[in-house]
Amino acid sequence: MKALTLPTVGEVCVKSVPEPKLLNPQDAIIKVAASAICGSDLHAYRGRIAHIAPGVPIGHEYVGVVTDVGAEVRRVKVGDRVTGSFFTACGQCWECRRGLFSQCPNSAMFGFGPDLGDLPGTQAEYARIPYADNTLIQIPDGVSDEAAIFVGDVLSTAYFAVERSNIKPGETGVVVGLGPVGLLAVELFFLMGAAQVAALDVVPERLQSARSRGAIPVLADASAVREIRALTGGRGADAVVEAVGSETGLALALQLVRGFGTVSSAGVYTERAVPVSMARLFAKDLTLKAGKANVPAVASTVMELLKHGRLHPEHLFTERMPLAEGPRGYQMFADRQALKILLVP
């Protein structure tokens, strides 16, 4: 089958690799209908994580149809249209039994190489899905593949971050960083009752996208703190979602939030150490949350929002291309010429 691989940093290739087979009785095989390129794929692309073996597929966002299941798979059936979490979770350990799937010690991430479980990725024609009953979610009729693919990572990540920001009806939410996660966080803040949402970025098109979703666009420069104070009677935001994953994004989020407020970080940090001002947290009685989205715990809620038409994440795709043009897609994505790219095998 055809798959995208990363033989050297910064160079994605299309390669012929063996089709995956069931390795464990809890596995399923899916025929991939589409995969997507994600901001976190760029961490591998730019060499920020251990090298992925040449010939191993990359990618972790996927939608497809189940073609084979192991003897112990119960909930998922051959022929099901599915999407799934970007990481696997066993469903049986101490953490999984308590719903803390993102902390499963048996977990692996698709397509991130030896650092993160050495599980082949999904930018390919077929993929093996470990712990299929727990990792996959069936797609209801009426939800398109292009919408459902967001459940596996981006939309669940935005939902998880907004839910943990403790936003209450009538409050002010702020989003720092308007990539796909940040733009969906704007919409989720409104769904969870925010009276106003301010959205920060430095790219004019992204600020415009936030405005079209009802947010107040704010240029993320030296005047941003003053602007947010002006919107909130001088207090600062009740809840801030940080969707950048950088030291400056986090520092700005901590400046924008009011006393006793929450900063909920959805950004992926690959640096070992990012300075956080504990003096600021202490002085302002802040809550700071960070973490990988607990996708299996929130996926069914998020899928309901799609099923009932409350969100349309498919509009975030700015490019659709054949899988074989993946190398060009990565180049465009890395150069910020596309917001989100769909790859169709």
- Residue 320: CB minimum distance to Zn ion, A: 17
CA 320/CA 340 separation, integer angstroms: 9
Please, what is the minimum distance in Å from the beta carbon of residue 34 to Zn ion? 14
User: In degrees to the nearest 10, what's the CA dihedral of 130, 134, 140, 145?
Assistant: -40
Measured distance CA(32)–CA(122) in Å, rounded: 7
| Chain contacts with Zn ion (rule: CB under 5 A) | 38, 40, 61, 89-90, 93, 96, 104, 106, 153
Going by C-beta distance under 8 Å and a sequence separation of 6 or more, which residues neighbour residue 315?
A: none
Q: Which is nearer to Zn ion, 150 or 189 (CB)?
A: 150
The CB-of-199 to Zn ion minimum distance in angstroms stands at: 20
Please, which residue, 64 or 261, has the CB nearer to Zn ion?
64
Nearer to Zn ion, 40 or 122 (CB): 40
Of 152 and 173, which has the nearer Cβ to Zn ion? 152
Residue 37 Ramachandran class (φ > 0 left, ψ -120 to 50 alpha, else beta): beta
Amino acid at 281: L
Residue of 294, 215, 287 lying closest to 253 (CA atoms): 287
Q: How far is the CB of 84 from Zn ion (least distance, A)?
A: 12
**Which residue number has the CB closest to Zn ion?**
38
Report d(CA 328, CA 322) in Å as an integer.
Answer: 10
- Which residue number, 232 or 264, has a Cβ lying nearer to Zn ion? 264
CB of 83 to Zn ion, least distance (A): 12
CB atoms within 10 A of CB 298: 19
